[in-house]
Structure 1
């Protein structure tokens, strides 16, 4: 039976490090054209007008996710969370607390994090935040991103709050591993990603513990919302209605 617009899941788009809701500007309209209600988030700590921006934590971000999911599901809609890159950390905290609140999580060149992990446990305690580094020092690929989007990235990027960088994730609810999950692999083929996960790679190990995992390959750089926005929207929509 065909899925009609009023039965489609709502989609919440969660950007990675240094990014706000604006990062999804080329993806959200395409998802809406496919019938989804779409919310693009700016996580706490990534709003440049927030005077307390540098003190925001992963717990603050997980709380913002809970509020967004509650709002999106208020009409009875199923909700799909889409996490790009570093958003995998607050999404993991949220899923540990609310594993039945969403119908699926879609990781875009990302994945769940492990209990006891931190994005950068050695991030200096006296440093308030982490600026976007020079592009030639990024440990991620800008393949396929236009010069215009690279300039916009630099102009709009907001430093990551220090607490988000340092915070050790505490996860205790095994039910988080039952949440239907899709990984859209961009920087590395999904086969390579899973090999690394099963070998215990520190950033990917939790992926190997997921009990309902779908893998989708979308070869491009680390920011497919700019390099392949229409294809990314199609992949997200397909995963959402699965």
Structure 2
């Protein structure tokens, strides 16, 4: 193992997931000489008795706290639905981030909430049946054992987080070096959507420094290709 001289890597999981989702990737990163810091965001800790009332702002604050505890800027890895709190961190404190790596994800669009009409009387969004989930995001590469662990450990996403609108105002967020790890959608298709001005990729066209890396697999590469994902994260984290 080499000596760790790189920026710490904060690993932020998407919906329904905690720090545990990064276990294998963290092990590989450590073996490559990197300091990996997986996070469980507020609202996704099943032991938190107030978790259903946690907000997007609290998730942002947790990421900021982890970033400021480092001696210098950090690399932030954001998977899937982590794009909302990470986008807000980039907007509020871009100086804390040396690079952001989006894993089958991308920056949130200002003025948009993940589910603005999510019912006020519903505490959270539970992990749907895998047949339904597979229609929304590819589960390619996930074994029966992995899917069973996913089901057992998944925590419902708080409705308060899903309904909160992301407001972005600081153009300095566009200066943060950015990498897209493209899994269920290849980079060629992502770049075409950006070029076409697709609203889901409105922020991408404004980024100053962008790299694309293809990792063909499903939407959860931390389980389907953990070693390959770790190699990419290690390489991109040193690319500053």
User: Is the TM-score greater than 0.5?
Assistant: yes
Contact 1:194 1:208 in 2 (8 A): no
> 1:7 aligns to what?
5
> 1:81 aligns to what?
76
Between the aligned partners of 1:107 and 1:148, the Cα distance in structure 2 is 26
Deviation track 1:43-68 (CA, whole Å, cap 9, x = no partner) reads: 00000111111111111000000001
Q: Does 1:234 align with 2:222?
A: no
> 1:153 aligns to what?
150
Contact 1:198 1:205 in 2 (8 A): no
Aligned length: 236
Which of these residues, 107, 116, 124, is aligned with residue 112 of structure 1? 107
Between the aligned partners of 1:182 and 1:79, the Cα distance in structure 2 is 14
> 2:47 aligns to what?
49
> 1:40 aligns to what?
38
Between the aligned partners of 1:141 and 1:91, the Cα distance in structure 2 is 22
How far does residue 202 in structure 1 lie from its aligned partner after superposition?
3.2
How big is the alpha-carbon RMSD for the aligned residues of Structure 1 and Structure 2?
A: 1.1
- Using the size of structure 2 for normalisation, the TM-score is 0.95
Q: Does 1:167 align with 2:180?
A: no
Cα gap change, 1:66 to 1:150, in 2 (>3 Å): same
Listed as ranges, the gaps of 5+ residues in structure 1 are none
Listed as ranges, the gaps of 5+ residues in structure 2 are none
How far does residue 201 in structure 1 lie from its aligned partner after superposition?
2.8
